[in-house]
Structure 1
Amino acid sequence: MSLTPFLAASQHGPRPLPLFLELLRSETAQSPDRRAAALAGLAAYQAARRPRPRKPMPVVAQAGRAVLRDYGGTGTPAIFVPSLINPPMILDMRYRRSLLRWMSRRGVRPLLVDWGTPTPADRAQDAAQHIEEMLIPLLRSIGEPVALVGYCLGGTFAAAAASAVPVRGLAMIATPWRFSGFSPEALERIDSLWHAAHDSCDRLGLVPMEVLQTGFWQLDPGRTIAKYERFGRLDPASPAARTFVAMEDWANAGAPLTYAAGRQIFDDFFATDLPGQARWRVAGTIVDPHALPCPTVEFVSLTDRIVPATSAAGLADRRELRLGHVGMMVGSSARQSLWQPLADWLTALPAPR
């Protein structure tokens, strides 16, 4: 089957599509049947019907291009901080997989940070400035100490914000902190990716999402192709097929990073491990999640292929799971393994004095 037609139908990804097709060629070079199955799955994914976009939840605060979206509820106010990589909607997925909507019915008032979309004019705004200029003002806008919940790099950012302003508690989910805990092979791939993309990103003033997606695919190229093979065999109207489309649309979307944030993440975090060495300074303070005066907890997956358990902060309250990086948020076992324990922890936090 020719790959050419897919280049003209790439609005639904995968992004970048030419690189995905090259990866497909390489992974299925010895198996024409697998290639045909993966291409059939890709065609089915691109042609799948999408529901109407959800209406965004109300904005209750804004700081720069970032806003805080209110998911209702009358309990403990908790600000959820997503990663800068991929859209924040991983916390509000369809098909009964919305952590935030579920939390709003469990004694928590979830508030979601939406980082917005940077432009080249924002090129000099590094990771620390995202926290100082956007996240900390959003926290202060509530008028009382809130709980902070950070997912992936959002947990890294949340720990920094909690070092600068009083919070009721900090929960870190699948959060990298000791970046030296990544395997040497993973660090080498990440360094090579940044080396190849650095000059173009510098000229753009942004790090496009496609650069980051390329790195994710390289973690497990066989699995990247195999999931499209499996999708091609599903009934398009089945819950499994609808969930696949929603998850892939999320994974293939996302705003770029500012150049400075990308440089800091690649050079200061992955290459130098400033957070893990207690050398990362935000808002004039060295960030150390172990020294926070509030309750802290981390949820760590022992089977996470994106953020290995060895990169976690090592907090005293460590909850170990056996779900993937995304599965722990939206998988079939997420509610019992993560959602409920997190809700119990949040609702048990002491009231602010």
Structure 2
Amino acid sequence: MLRSETAENPDRLRAALVGLRRYQSAPRTARPPEMPVVAKAGRAMLRDYGGSGAVTVFVPSLINPPHVLDLSPQNSLLRWLAAQGTRPLLLDWGHPGETDRNMDMGGHVEELLVPLLEQIGEPAALAGYCLGGTIALAAATIYPVRALALIAAPWHFSGFPDAARRDLAGLWQAVEPTAQALGVLPMEALQASFWRLDPARTIRKFEDFGRLADGDPRIDAFIALEDWANDGPPLTLAAGRQLLVDLFGADITGQGKWTVAGRPVDPAATACPVLDIASLTDRIVPAASAAGIGESLPLNLGHVGMIVGSRGRNALWEPLARWLSQPRKR
């Protein structure tokens, strides 16, 4: 990918390699201790970020660690919300193993998310980011919640570019033997495919990083975000297959053919208030893939930038805090 993107410009190739080496060799700062656990279901748990308001459970993607919502003490949506009259609980999916091989995405809803919600003791709001929003939407159709916020959550997978859908659906054929043997789909197999969703940006960000002056505060921010993006537990075998074959390949969610708890998931049947946040410039989860239900909040920020970027607080954090703080029946 590096060779193809810089074939006509050797200077870009050298700059990207400088940035890559700088990233690889940079010292790392240890993350703060994990927040306390207030509920467990199987390998999954809810981590409490404090705050005195109504509970909102944040559901991260199954891909990459959940701490993008708490990237650093200085850049944390969850810590900020806790100071704004919301009590955020972060769902940590835990680390699946071979014994979880048959748990598909619906199983994550039925066996992990819903049992965690049952332990809270009051109706919670759900806020799902990326694939976590897809899962949260399904949970809201089978379990009563106060409200549902979808943040860059794909539903109509036909809204992705055809080439990306073919690449991701075809990935399963290449990795299935390894995944079958391991009982999980390794994160590394997915990451290479996600790089190809926007190869120009993947290379450009390392070019730009290599040019930053020593001491620039953007260096630490880049390292923290890139470490998050290149880390994460594997997917269960069944969830990996369902994501690549059934969602990206066949768009079973958009076609109304995804069943959870024995019935098809219908976004239009969601009984609670819904805020659907999608960005018109998101190249990872296109706005065309959003569920398109409830109140919409269109943005012009990148998929990750809306959570941790410099404009994210004004564009997403503050509107989300206001929406979550609206009085609703418990």
SS in 2 for 1:144: coil
Give the secondary-structure state (helix, strand or coil) at the position aligned to 1:111. strand
| Contact 2:185–2:240 under 8 Å retained in 1 | yes
| TM-score under structure 1 length normalisation | 0.91
Q: 2:86 matched to 1:86?
A: no
Paired letter, 1:192? G
What is the correspondence of 1:192-211 to structure 2 with a 5 Å cutoff?
Answer: 192-211=170-189
Cα distance in 2 for partners of 1:236, 1:244 equals: 13
Compare 218-227 and 291-300 and name the one that shifted more. Answer: 218-227
- Quote the residue 1:332 is aligned against: 310
Query: Which residue of structure 1 lines up, in the alignment, with residue 147 of structure 2?
Result: 169
- Counterparts of 1:33 and 1:322, CA distance in 2: 31
Secondary structure of residue in 1 paired with 2:148: strand
Distance 2:150 2:327 in 1: 15
In the alignment, which residue of structure 2 is the partner of 1:217? 195
Show the counterpart of 2:80: 102
Q: Which residue of 2 aligns with 1:292?
A: 270
* 8 Å Cα contact 1:236-1:242 kept in structure 2: no
Contact 1:169 1:349 (8 Å CA) reproduced: no
Q: SS at the partner of 2:126?
A: strand
Residue 32 of structure 1 pairs with residue 10 of structure 2: yes
Output one character per residue of 1:159-192: Cα deviation in whole Å (capped at 9) or x when no partner: 1111111100001000001111112122111122
Quote the residue 2:329 is aligned against. Answer: 351
Kindly provide the CA deviation profile for residues 268-298 of structure 1, in whole angstroms up to 9, marking residues without a partner as x: 2111212112221112232122211111110
1:158 paired residue number: 136
Instruction: After the TM superposition, list the runs of 4 or more consecutive aligned residues in structure 1 that deviate by more than 4 angstroms.
Output: none
Structure 1 segment 1-353 matched on structure 2, within 5 A: 23-94=1-72, 96-352=74-330
Unaligned runs of 5+ in 1: 1-22
Match of residue 9 from structure 1? none
- Maintained 8 Å contact 2:141/2:267: yes
CA distance in 2, matches of 1:220, 1:191: 17
Q: 1 CA distance for matches of 2:33 and 2:26?
A: 21
Determine what percentage of the aligned residue pairs are the same residue: 57
The answer to whether the 8 Å contact 1:180/1:273 transfers is: yes
Take 1:75 and 1:202, find their aligned partners in 2: how far apart are those partners? Answer: 44
| 1:42 shift after superposition | 1.2
Q: What is the RMSD computed on CA atoms of the aligned residues? A: 1.2
Letter in 2 for 1:239: P
Specify the code of the residue in structure 1 equivalent to 2:156: R
User: Could you tell me how far apart the structure 2 residues matched to 1:187 and 1:33 are?
Assistant: 32
Distance in 2 (CA, whole Å) between partners of 1:310 and 1:335 is 24
Q: Distance in 2 between matches of 1:49 and 1:186?
A: 34
Equivalences, count: 330
**3-state SS, counterpart of residue 87 of structure 2:** strand
Q: CA deviation at 1:211?
A: 0.9
Contact 2:171 2:244 in 1 (8 A): no
With over 3 angstroms needed to count, the CA separation of the structure-2 counterparts of 1:293 and 1:52, relative to structure 1, is: same
